[in-house]
Structure 1
């Protein structure tokens, strides 16, 4: 690496750190429903400039996960989950920008813009990563986790599904969470803004500002890990943020 290149890397790292520090703690307000809004305070930001030390990659052979110009780039063959190692506590909101690539590459299959959140291994509730190597990115190996799952554009971009995994192998699918209309599927080569809300039993998933899932869980999962999930896909992730939520009633 040349001296100039090293200097550019150092400057980019310093800039990312300054930006992160400058916006941490800033608040915004998020409308959850017609009668409830929440104060959202930024608690975690990853601009994917400082390495992957906060992430744990579980991936089947031949796939890759790397950083590329401030983006997390996933090129996968047979299955991949990328976990944030920080355990999350709700109520919270997660946002990030995704871009599914369709440019004729060998893994440029438009499918599976997926994620897990509030994930917990019930055999090892204090350490999700005990069985990390055993799972290895194979999708069926995640069935026994307790979590929420959103699968956007699965089955070759023909289905979008939300599931609540119960932690004992059951993954019930409610009819209203089995979506096949084109508006719920992936639009490739386009930035997609994703927002997830987990607030006192209210579980929501938004895409480009449109609420796709609005589920009330009477026994909500209030803590656990977040993970990007895909298979046989090529995509990038950027601008990953986590906010804590505090209720604010809307005056009517």
Structure 2
């Protein structure tokens, strides 16, 4: 049997509880299923990774980072999209409040546009370090605790999102890659939130980085354990199809 790793992406209160500031519809049910999966099948995995979104106030993707070009008191509403092409042409209604970082933002947006990105999203304030919303949802946290007590295996925690001047959807990092390759993992099963963003970007980076190293690994999404932020359904399905991401049975 090939060695497998489970990658639980951002199972945090702000995403997974209906009271969370960036609740993904269906995420609470996803957490219940993830917990059940870990209880039933956790020992099938050689490693279990859990990524956590950790942000600070004033980050580039929060409203308070920006001000109106014609009215410095204005802030963009959450879910506002900043068109990268318009921004780079100087035709955007928004500009960073701190003039010191404006050249950095131009450079960063050029990088995003070069990668094929067209829009930058402003999100509700979420997963702020030290707050309840940044915690692992209780159902998943308890299942992970039971797994460690049962097996003696610690979790591999992955922290992301703490750099204030860039977005970071993907949880795939060099240290994650090292664990996968050194552990001879041959299948990675992803779940968590949101399928349209952090799960999708993590899967894409895994695919690209491991292929670049010539490392053969299957990448699958755990069936029924990740939800899509409303409005991103079509783009998500197209991206998963183009990446050739499969589905792992629950």
TM range (shorter): under 0.3
- Normalized per residue, the structure richer in strand is 1
Taking structure 1 as the reference length, the TM-score comes to 0.22
